[in-house]
Structure 1
Amino acid sequence: MTQDPTSEPSPRMRVARGPKRPDYMGNRDLDRFMMMFTALIGEVSALRDRLDTHELLAAAGRVATPEAIEAFEIPGEDTARRAATREAMLRRVFRVALEELELAQHEETANFAEESVE
């Protein structure tokens, strides 16, 4: 099957390859779960943005057709609001991990301060 050289290449998913995949959590099953979970959060975020576009079109009295949704230009103030909403959602979803990271960073800073005093 030959592809037309003038056409754009199809987008490819970025996937880790090779004999050893990245090990983030020290448990392969947990790593897989977290990768799936993170991908799902990305999809939820995209759905929220799309729903917001529907709402903005409706508020402007426009019909939310697929073409209207794809062509919709997001006003600047709505871009900032979306970014804040997305950030809040990610903070809620990853709250436990963020708290543990902040605690670990605080402990590391405290240990470094103690070592430098000695």
Structure 2
Amino acid sequence: ADALFSIFTIVVFIRALSLFIYNRFLGMLLISIGRMAVDIMKFVVLDGLILFAFALGLSQLYWFYGTMHQYLCSNYSQSNLQALSCSKLLNSLQSLFWAGFGIVDLSTLELK
């Protein structure tokens, strides 16, 4: 019930925003914000494609070390080895995303 209430509240505010287009001052602001939102979405899509391509390259570069880590852990029971953050595509996407914010542990990139 709370989720539906919040969705309907958002819909009501969006509908009220459409009435502001007829205002002399707010109309120009809404049009420019709408065009800016389209430009921001284009940037986010392009940034996502570049991030995905870079993560794919990193995972191709580090996949050998990730399989070697799994081999050593399973055959020699060396569980003290640290898993590489770029050995799989999802791991490299996560590490690149957080590296964009400066939150990354550089010790996961060390090859031992």
Q: Which has the higher contact order (CA 8 A, sep 6+)?
A: 2
TM-score (ref. length: structure 1): 0.36
Task: Kindly indicate which of the two structures has a greater share of residues assigned to helix.
Answer: 2
The structure whose Rg is larger is 2
